[in-house]
Amino acid sequence: MKLEKRSAGAPAQEPASQEQAPSGGNKKPVIVYIMILFIVAFLLMALSFAMHQRSNSVDMDELKDKVDALQATQATQGENIQLQNDLKVAYEEKAQLQKNVESLEEQLAKSQEETESVKKQYEAMNAFYTLQQQYAAEDDAACQKTIAVMEKDGLDKLLPAETTTEGIESPAQLYLEIREDTAVQ
């Protein structure tokens, strides 16, 4: 029977259906296999993308940290420059104050010299007054002692040589007269 069917044309279809069945059945596993490969490739791409994003995120965090550190460094440098400028100003002010101090010290020294000079002139006039009083009392010994002290201390040279009023002798002239008068006697 099988032979007959083959000759009648029916068996020719049967082997074709057998051939088609295995090839049709093969198409399904190939499609599933291709789909699995696409899914695996998609999952690998998704995994690669996620890893790349994570790597980028870490790199971005590091970059942000570096930028923050750079900004902090720049801010510190700015503060340092400002402090250096302030220091220059402070040094300039210090130099100016030092000049002022030196000027004031010079003025003080001059004032002290003038004060000392006035003090010596006062001592000279006071000694001269004492000498006049002793001369008026006709105490020649006391006059000679006062003259000796005045000459020893240099007070006789500090007596004013000029008068402010006409007709009155200057203290220096009166001193010389008293000295000559007491030395003669």
pLDDT recorded at residue 78: 94
pLDDT at 25: 52
Q: Which pLDDT score, from 0 to 100, does residue 15 have?
A: 46
Q: What is the pTM of this model?
A: 0.49
Question: What tokens were used for 98?
Answer: 């030092």
On whether the CB atoms of residues 90 and 106 are closer than 8 A, the answer is no
User: What per-residue confidence (pLDDT) applies to 72?
Assistant: 94
| Residues 6 or more apart in contact with residue 121 via CB below 8 angstroms | 158, 160
pLDDT score, position 73: 94
Q: What is the reported pLDDT for 65?
A: 93
Angle (nearest 5°) at CA 92 between 91 and 96: 115
Half-sphere exposure of 173 (CA within 13 A, CB side): 7
Q: Which amino acid is at 102?
A: E
* Token code pair at residue 63: 């970059």
Do 11 and 2 form a contact (C-beta atoms < 8 A)? yes
**Residue 150 contacts residue 124 (beta carbons within 8 Å):** yes
**Model pLDDT, residue 139:** 85
pLDDT score for 185: 55
Ranges of residues in the chain whose predicted pLDDT is under 50: 1, 3, 5-7, 10-21
And the tokens for 50?
């996620």
Q: Rounded to whole angstroms, how far apart are CA atoms 132 and 129?
A: 5
